[in-house]
Amino acid sequence: MSYYNNRIFKNTSVKDLRPKVEAALKTQGFGVLTEIDFQATMKKKIDKDYLPHLILGACSPEYADKVVSLEPQVSTLLPCNVTLRELDNGDVEVAAMDPSVAMQMIENEKVKTHAKEVRDKLEKVLEEI
């Protein structure tokens, strides 16, 4: 079982693909709460060069409320990360974590059910881009 789902895009860039990712997230009820420019951060912190690489912390307020109401400490696993990363060949990978894998350790079936629903929505995001 993979801990993420992904899709590869040709003839584009991280910068050009980002608005499409955010639009697809929005159609599935997600907003972007956080952003990490991995490329810039690694250059600044350890002077290492990376290709363009963004980590977007996506959140569905509806589902966040549901799972945190059931298990308050589940907030340590939020938000759901979606990454945009330029590959060595110039293609761009968009990947989304699989929250159903992350939530397996929680012994609450309702949380696991919601995690599967969120996984399905994130898969739809990848399809919509």
Tens of pLDDT, residues 36-72:
999 999 999 999 999 999 999 999 999 999 999 999 9
Here the tokens at position 57 are 């912390």
* pLDDT (tens digit per residue) in 11-44: 999 999 999 999 999 999 999 999 999 999 999 9
Residue 1 pLDDT: 67
- C-alpha closest to that of 34 among 58, 18, 12: 58
Residue 80 pLDDT: 96
| Tally of structural domains, the chain | 1
CATH number at residue 98: 3.30.310.70
Residue 111 pLDDT: 96
On the question of pLDDT at 118 being above 80, the answer is yes
* pLDDT (tens digit per residue) in 84-95: 999 999 999 999
Global pTM?
0.94
User: Which domain, by its residues, includes 12?
Assistant: 4-128
Residue 24 pLDDT: 98
Angle at 121 between CA 115 and CA 124, to 5 degrees: 145
